[in-house]
Structure 1
């Protein structure tokens, strides 16, 4: 979701900076990049090690609430082509799942802003035991969709997300946002989703069949 469907990483980074500054602690853009794609509770441990004197649940709630406030104030910043591709997939009756390490309430906010029924399944960070890069989130999504994970294309913008998708057995499609993804385990790398369609996604699975 964050960084693939919507460009909310800027909101998360702002929330992280505000929290760290409130404790008088340093926080840089490079620090924030280290957490892109991580699970929220894993990120909370990172902040605790940096000196944030809050329980993990409190850190997660504070960051999430601040991001939701920014979404309400500034709107949902869609990534180029993402909503259009999602709509085309839905019109073609392709089962879809949102696999995000944000908590469910945050995911629900984003989904509510989509003017069509976008997902059959939502897997959030507070619904799995193991966050990305573990394969559990994608395996859970495939199981709930009732499909073979090997027939799924997982679109990701972060190293933890790609690792999760690849380890699950899905076709991992890298679409970079803030972090270069060259050389990471992925079946394909697209510079953008803008201008892509159902046939482009289907062709990825056809390539896998040919090279298998």
Structure 2
């Protein structure tokens, strides 16, 4: 995939170390993929359609417009994309009003990155209103930057979200680590030229060159993330 967002110029070997960490939200830091599916199932039931699990594998990790558009086509529901997106966001927002559960290892990882002053960005396909609600559980101070799916013309699986985050932080995408839970997000991170850590939530993600697959955020810490960059640069620190 191509993008009109310019990448930051490559830096010297002396700088070849981890410059920033980009974290996905739903299914990566917070255990909410099930909440989204429940919201979608409830809304479509009210529209007279029953969703089965075959649809879940398609909509997980995607931007709202893609997921909602797919479900309209798959069910034949008589509703517009904008109206459905509004209903789904409202239903999901109601579910997370009391806070959201963090994924195992998320709190410890955020605290570690903050303690070491590692520039950290939250890069999500969710809308800004949803992100801001979840930041109450995650701690807004843990992030140098947050980027929502409705703030860009193109979101994941395009590389634009991660290229935008890198440009705004003034870092080289090749020296940034991305942590994602879906193939949609993994594709975006890899297309941006970042080193990607996949922590599969709903669907499995196969290993690939330049991609590390782990079972949980409990396996991810700062030394581990730093090693991804130094290894890709021939061990230069």
TM-score by length of 2: 0.84
User: Is 1:100–2:127 an aligned residue pair?
Assistant: no
2:175 alignment partner, one of 148, 151, 156: 151
Aligned equivalents of 2:29 and 2:209: distance in 1? 20
Equivalence for 1:45: 69
Equivalence for 1:11: 35
Contact kept, 8 Å, 1:172 with 1:186, in 2: the verdict is yes
SS, match of residue 146 in structure 2: strand
Aligned equivalents of 2:208 and 2:197: distance in 1? 11
Contact kept, 8 Å, 1:81 with 1:193, in 2: the verdict is yes
Aligned equivalents of 1:160 and 1:86: distance in 2? 23
Runs of at least 5 residues in structure 1 that lack an aligned partner in the other structure = none
Note the 1:67-82 alignment, pairs <5 A.
Answer: 67-73=92-98, 75-82=99-106
Aligned equivalents of 1:120 and 1:88: distance in 2? 14
Q: Which has the larger radius of gyration?
A: 2
1:85 alignment partner, one of 92, 102, 109: 109
* 1:113 Cα deviation after fit: 2.0
SS, match of residue 113 in structure 1: helix
Contact kept, 8 Å, 2:58 with 2:67, in 1: the verdict is no
User: Is 1:61–2:86 an aligned residue pair?
Assistant: yes
SS, match of residue 233 in structure 2: helix
Instruction: Give the number of the structure with larger relative contact order, counting CA–CA contacts within 8 Å between residues 6 or more apart.
Output: 2
Distance 1:184 1:34, change over 3 A: farther
Task: Tell me the number of residue pairs that the alignment of Structure 1 and Structure 2 aligns.
Answer: 211
CA RMSD of aligned residues (A): 1.8
TM-score by length of 1: 0.93
Equivalence for 1:142: 166
* 1:115 Cα deviation after fit: 4.1
Equivalence for 1:188: 212
